[in-house]
């Protein structure tokens, strides 16, 4: 309106100046509109960064992180693993400045940098103080629109690698990316059985109790108690963490005003103040955990980090115990010391194993109260709280809540208490809670592993007339072993236990006469035996004898864990011999007859399988007729048992006399039937077992009649290299012992093309097994011609530069056999396969020498190949092998030298006449 009035006033003035003013006014107005429009366009293009976009960028970059040079970054991780409900990871007093999170990035070509991600962009901050482990939030450089742009600017290597990456490929990687590094160790048989039982068993899922109420929707997260401490007014407050490699496993907390007040007050007032603040502290400790990479044992039955919420039905359906426990929790919050102890005792009288009672405690905030009671100085309150936590922590949701609320850190501190009852309860509760990865990591980071190992040091267990105090020490050691058993599922925790010198203490406890002590001790050894260092220590500490003796215990659970420990340890040849020397094969054979307990049966068959790798043990098992029992177990057993049974049969089948026993006991038919399964571990073992049986011609007849060779051939299409390799190895004796092998192979449509295509594999065992199969297939000229048409010569030539002796041997044999068709000798020379073959003669493996000499003999029939061999000094190497005791090697070497000599003489004759 003011513009219109100004225009009217100018129009009323007829002077020339008024006209000029009007033109200037119109131009200014036009300019103003242009400026506004351009500003709007710029503003509309600017999209403020959100927590979701930052998270997506970081998750994407994690896909390109690793030690390998082809990776864009060495590592990238958040400084805290706690995420607020709004998606931010920055503390609340920094969120008001628009900050979302902080990440620590290590490019390959620059130093570690700490980056702030905010709504206005990303920038490098002041970094991490190595002493206080705190972040300096001050900006130290320019603001970039996103992480990619910043990293391209500071790291030329990152920019170069990312320029080569296809973004679509990155999205594909994201869909299958797994953030958990797992241990390559093999799961024990009973653990595999338990996992199968949990997955497919007839247990009913947890039934919902009540309808969702507002209290159930509360998310466990740190409360804004910083406001009470005036932290929001201090912009220079620095918090943070650094990568694990830069830190030791320890943790520090800032003392709040509430805690200072408790220190200066009477015990009763301390208790009141602690409980009053319990509901406002929902777990700030979790946000101070160190971020680190971790590796868990594959034997672990991993629980989800995020547990599903309980869903409630109607309040009228809840039993009276639910409401009684909720009243007791209210007394815990507001009562004095006496009322608190009485309330704890009353709560303990309820059946805390029931889900209803656990639900009642959690719903009304009882977990917070119980955990805060552990910070008081009242022993009775601590003991009462720990007794309740020990019972309810059997529930997976309760375990996660305890970890979220910082309960583990407090319990680890209690392990230093002089009160032995307290230490026992704290250790046992830690054992219950540390069933999932994050909890185990927390225990280690706060020094819990060292403290738990110290608990194992007690009086000799076989001492007579123990005092009450000594009995308490033994109970403390037992609870410490239970906690370490849970923690030992982590590879890093295993290493921490070893460094804390826990093995000698475990060896001492292994001599205990009590099963309740032995079970957790053997359980620890069972978990740790997947590590070579532990297997060595188990030998040096002479633990095998004690483990073998406990196989004869009357406690089936102890027998199961001893068998699982042998299963893990028997990967070592020396330990397999020790098991036999200490008489361990006898109880294993006896326990094999207990087929009712499937978990025990899985453990026993697993131990027999691994012990059967040694021929001496196989001969001993023959005396106990173990193989006959194993064949009988091929029917009506769960897969976890079958994997081990078939594995044991496969190892026993390496002994010729056992192949006949398998046939006479009717084992061939069920073994062939198992070839149509889908279980990877079972397929690996059954292919080996069928291959072992096929060495016997009579067995091969049965396998062929059951279409076993076709099933083996179909397994070459299996996506798993170990299945492919074992299937190819099994095919070799089948072809050798089949009546009309050539026609049988040709009957498999596309079979030869499949075999040749497998030579493109990256797995050396697959390549060696396929070369061995080609050697047998090529004995038939018609099949060799088809292989040649499929390009077998070129594919074999590409493998000639390998350094793997196993592959070298079978590759040389395949080349020797393929030379017997058409112009294949010349083709191998043209494909440059001759020169690398000469290098094979420098190997230390005599089998490689024999196969290579045969290949060179066949190749030397071509003049150009002879010239190549002579240029690579083959004559000197072959001269040494002419004197070998191996007749086949002698003849091949002499024949090759003879061909080279004939060529030289013909050349001389042609030159000089």
Q: Which of 619, 649, 671 is the last residue of a domain?
A: 619
Start-end of H helices in 551-679 = 556-569, 573-581, 585-591, 598-611, 615-623, 626-632, 639-652, 656-664, 668-673
- Cα dihedral 599, 605, 611, 617, rounded to 10, equals 140
Q: Are residues 142 and 33 in the same domain?
A: no
In-domain check, residue 288 = no
pLDDT band at 91 (very low <50, low <70, confident <90, very high): confident
Q: Are residues 35 and 79 in the same domain?
A: no
Residue 796 pLDDT > 70, yes or no? yes
Q: Are residues 93 and 13 in the same domain?
A: no
pLDDT for residue 4: 54
Helices 863-871/846-859 angle, 10° precision? 140
Whole-number Å distance between alpha carbons of 254 and 232: 15
Neighbours of 264 (CB within 10 A): 8
Structure-model confidence comparison of residues 337 and 602, the more confident one: 602
pLDDT band at 173 (very low <50, low <70, confident <90, very high): very low
Q: Are residues 85 and 29 in the same domain?
A: no
Residue 45 pLDDT > 60, yes or no? no
Structure token pair of residue 720: 């798993």
Residue 205 pLDDT > 70, yes or no? no
Residues forming a β-bridge with 76: 105
pTM given for the model: 0.68
Place of tokens 């090697």: 889
pLDDT for residue 6: 60
In-domain check, residue 348 = no
Whole-number Å distance between alpha carbons of 820 and 818: 5
What CATH number is attached to the domain comprising 134? 3.30.2280.10
Q: What long-range pairs does 701-705 form, CB within 8 A, spacing at least 24?
A: 701/739, 702/663, 702/668, 702/669, 703/668, 703/672, 703/734, 704/734, 704/738, 704/739, 704/744
Place of tokens 């936590």: 389
Whole-number Å distance between alpha carbons of 189 and 595: 14
Q: Are residues 66 and 99 in the same domain?
A: yes
- Residues composing the chain: 913
Each residue's pLDDT tens digit, 482-503: 999 999 999 999 999 999 999 9
In-domain check, residue 588 = yes
Q: Which of 594, 619, 644 is the last residue of a domain?
A: 619
Three-state SS at 138: strand
pLDDT for residue 29: 77
Name the residue range of residue 835's domain: 740-912
pLDDT for residue 42: 65
In-domain check, residue 451 = no
Whole-number Å distance between alpha carbons of 660 and 649: 12
Q: Are residues 797 and 863 in the same domain?
A: yes
What's the 3-state SS for 468-537?
Answer: HHHHHHHHHHHHHHHHHHHHCCEHHHHHHHHHCCCHHHHHHHCCCCCHHHHHHHHHHHHHHCCCHHHHHH
**Distance of CA 564 to CAs 193, 534, 550, 604, Å?**
12, 15, 12, 7
> What's the number of domains the chain is made of?
4
Structure token pair of residue 377: 């100085």
In-domain check, residue 230 = no
In-domain check, residue 284 = no
In-domain check, residue 401 = no
Closest C-alpha to 895, from 862, 856, 863 = 856
Structure-model confidence comparison of residues 568 and 194, the more confident one: 568
What's the 3-state SS for 290-340?
Answer: CCCCCEECCCCCCCCCCCCCCCEECHHHCCHHHHHHHHHHHHHHHCCHHHH
Phi, psi at 77, each rounded to 5° = -160, 160
Residue 395 pLDDT > 70, yes or no? yes
What's the average model confidence in pLDDT over 836-848? 94
Each residue's pLDDT tens digit, 407-430: 999 999 999 999 999 999 999 999
In-domain check, residue 184 = no
pLDDT for residue 229: 35
pLDDT for residue 190: 54
**Any idea which of 197-206, 373-382, 435-444, 675-684 has the lowest mean pLDDT?**
197-206
Q: Are residues 70 and 153 in the same domain?
A: yes
Q: Are residues 9 and 89 in the same domain?
A: no
Phi, psi at 104, each rounded to 5° = -105, 120
Q: Are residues 40 and 74 in the same domain?
A: no
Task: Check residue 543 and report its DSSP letter.
Answer: -
- Residue 328's contacts (CB-CB under 8 Å, 6 or more residues apart) are 343, 346, 347
Place of tokens 């994050």: 438
Three-state SS at 782: helix
Strands 99-107, 181-182: parallel, antiparallel or unpaired by DSSP? unpaired
Average pLDDT of the chain is 82
In DSSP notation, 20-53 reads: HHHHHHHHHHHHHHHHHHHHHHHHHH-----HHH
Q: Are residues 136 and 18 in the same domain?
A: no
Residues forming a β-bridge with 313: 210
Closest C-alpha to 452, from 395, 399, 396, 505 = 505
pLDDT band at 577 (very low <50, low <70, confident <90, very high): very high
Q: Are residues 607 and 751 in the same domain?
A: no
Structure token pair of residue 845: 């493996």
Write the burial class of residue 801 (CB in 10 Å: 0-12 exposed, 13-18 middle, 19+ buried): exposed
Write the burial class of residue 525 (CB in 10 Å: 0-12 exposed, 13-18 middle, 19+ buried): buried
What's the average model confidence in pLDDT over 211-226? 37
Q: Are residues 24 and 64 in the same domain?
A: no
Whole-number Å distance between alpha carbons of 426 and 424: 6
What CATH number is attached to the domain comprising 894? 1.25.10.10
Please state whether 375 falls in left (phi above 0), alpha (psi between -120 and 50) or beta.
Answer: alpha
**Any idea which of 378-382, 659-663, 774-778 has the lowest mean pLDDT?**
378-382
Write the burial class of residue 826 (CB in 10 Å: 0-12 exposed, 13-18 middle, 19+ buried): middle
Q: Which of 167, 202, 217 is the last residue of a domain?
A: 167
Neighbours of 653 (CB within 10 A): 27
């Amino acid at each position: 309106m003011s513009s219109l009035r100004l225009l009217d006033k100018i129009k009323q003035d007829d002077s020339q100046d008024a006209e000029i003013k009007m033109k200037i006014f119109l131009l200014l107005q036009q300019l103003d509109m242009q400026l506004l429009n351009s500003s709007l366009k710029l503003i509309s293009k600017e999209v403020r960064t959100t927590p979701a976009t930052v998270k997506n960028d970081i998750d994407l970059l994690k896909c390109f992180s690793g030690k390998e040079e082809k990776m864009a970054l060495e590592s990238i991780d958040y400084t805290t693993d706690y995420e607020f409900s709004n998606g931010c990871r920055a503390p609340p007093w920094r969120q008001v400045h628009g900050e979302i999170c902080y990440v620590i990035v290590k490019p390959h070509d620059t130093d570690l940098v700490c980056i702030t991600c905010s709504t206005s962009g990303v920038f490098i901050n002041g970094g991490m103080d190595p002493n206080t482990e705190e972040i300096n939030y001050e900006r130290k450089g320019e603001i970039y629109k996103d992480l990619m742009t910043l990293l391209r600017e500071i790291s030329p290597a990152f920019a170069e690698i990312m320029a080569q990456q296809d973004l679509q490929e990155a999205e594909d990687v994201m869909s299958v990316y797994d953030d958990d590094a797992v241990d390559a160790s093999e799961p024990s048989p009973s653990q595999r059985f338990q996992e199968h039982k949990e997955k497919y068993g007839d247990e009913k899922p947890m039934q919902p109790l009540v309808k969702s109420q507002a209290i159930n929707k509360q998310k466990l997260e740190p409360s804004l108690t910083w406001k009470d401490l005036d932290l929001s007014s201090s912009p220079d407050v620095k918090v943070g963490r650094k990568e694990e490699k830069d830190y030791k496993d320890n943790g520090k907390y800032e003392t709040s005003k509430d805690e200072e007040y408790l220190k200066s007050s009477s015990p009763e007032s301390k208790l009141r103040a602690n409980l009053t603040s319990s509901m406002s502290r929902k777990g700030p400790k979790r946000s101070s955990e160190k971020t680190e990479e971790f590796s868990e044992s594959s034997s672990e039955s991993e629980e989800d980090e995020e547990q599903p919420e309980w869903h409630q039905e109607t309040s009228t359906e809840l039993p009276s115990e639910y409401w009684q426990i909720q009243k007791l929790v209210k007394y815990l919050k507001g009562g004095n010391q006496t009322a608190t102890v009485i309330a704890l005792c009353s709560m303990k009288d309820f059946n805390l194993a029931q889900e209803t009672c656990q639900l009642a405690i959690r719903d009304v905030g009882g977990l917070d109260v119980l955990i805060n009671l552990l910070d008081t100085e009242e022993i009775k309150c601590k003991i009462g709280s720990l007794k309740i936590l020990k019972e309810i922590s059997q529930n997976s949701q309760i375990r996660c809540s305890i970890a979220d609320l910082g309960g583990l850190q407090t319990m680890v501190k209690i392990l230093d208490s002089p009160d032995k009852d307290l230490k026992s309860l704290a250790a046992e509760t830690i054992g219950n809670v540390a069933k999932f990865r994050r909890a185990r990591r927390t225990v280690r980071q706060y020094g819990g592993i060292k403290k738990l190992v110290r608990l194992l040091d007690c009086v000799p267990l076989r001492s007579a007339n123990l005092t009450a105090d000594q009995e308490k020490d033994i109970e403390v050691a037992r609870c410490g072993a239970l906690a370490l058993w849970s923690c030992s599922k982590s590879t890093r925790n295993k290493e921490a236990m070893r460094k804390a010198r826990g093995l000698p203490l475990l060896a001492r406890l292994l001599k205990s006469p009590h099963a309740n002590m032995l079970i957790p001790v053997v359980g620890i050894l069972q978990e740790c035996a997947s590590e070579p260092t532990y297997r060595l220590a188990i030998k040096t500490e002479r633990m095998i004898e004690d483990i073998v003796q406990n196989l004869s215990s009357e406690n089936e659970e102890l027998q199961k864990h001893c068998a699982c420990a042998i299963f893990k340890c028997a990967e070592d040849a020396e330990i397999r011999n020790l098991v036999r020397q200490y008489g361990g094969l006898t109880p294993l054979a006896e326990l094999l007859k207990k087929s009712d307990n499937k978990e025990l049966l899985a453990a026993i068959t697993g131990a027999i399988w691994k012990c059967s790798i040694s021929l001496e043990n196989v001969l001993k098992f023959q005396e106990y007729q173990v193989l006959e029992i194993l064949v009988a177990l091929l029917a009506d057993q769960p897969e976890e048992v079958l994997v081990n049974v078939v594995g044991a049969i496969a190892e026993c089948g390496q002994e010729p006399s056992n192949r006949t026993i398998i046939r006479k006991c009717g084992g061939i038919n069920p073994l062939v039937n198992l070839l149509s399964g889908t279980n990877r571990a079972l397929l690996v073992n059954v292919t080996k077992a069928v291959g072992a049986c096929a060495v016997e011609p009579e067995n091969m007849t049965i396998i062929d009649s059951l279409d076993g060779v076709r099933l083996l051939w179909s397994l070459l299409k299996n996506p798993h290299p170990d299945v492919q390799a074992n299937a190819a190895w099994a095919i070799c004796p089948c072809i050798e012992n089949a009546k009309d092998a050539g026609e049988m192979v040709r009957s498999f449509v596309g079979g030869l093309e499949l075999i040749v295509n497998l030579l493109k594999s990256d797995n050396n065992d697959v390549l060696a097994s396929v070369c061995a199969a080609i050697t047998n297939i090529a004995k038939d000229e018609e099949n060799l011609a088809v292989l040649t048409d499929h390009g077998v010569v070129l594919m074999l030539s590409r493998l000639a530069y390998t350094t793997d002796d196993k592959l070298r041997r079978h590759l040389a044999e395949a080349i020797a056999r393929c030379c017997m068709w058409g112009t294949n000798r010349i083709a191998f020379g043209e494909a440059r396969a001759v020169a690398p073959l000469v290098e094979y003669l420098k190997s230390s493996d005599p089998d490689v020498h024999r196969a290579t000499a045969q290949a060179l003999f066949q190749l030397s029939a071509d003049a150009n190949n002879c010239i190549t061999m002579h240029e690579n000094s083959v004559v000197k190497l072959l001269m040494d092998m002419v004197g070998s005791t191996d007749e086949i090697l002698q003849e091949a070497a002499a024949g090759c030298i003879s061909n080279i000599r004939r060529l030289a003489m013909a050349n001389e004759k042609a030159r000089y006449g």
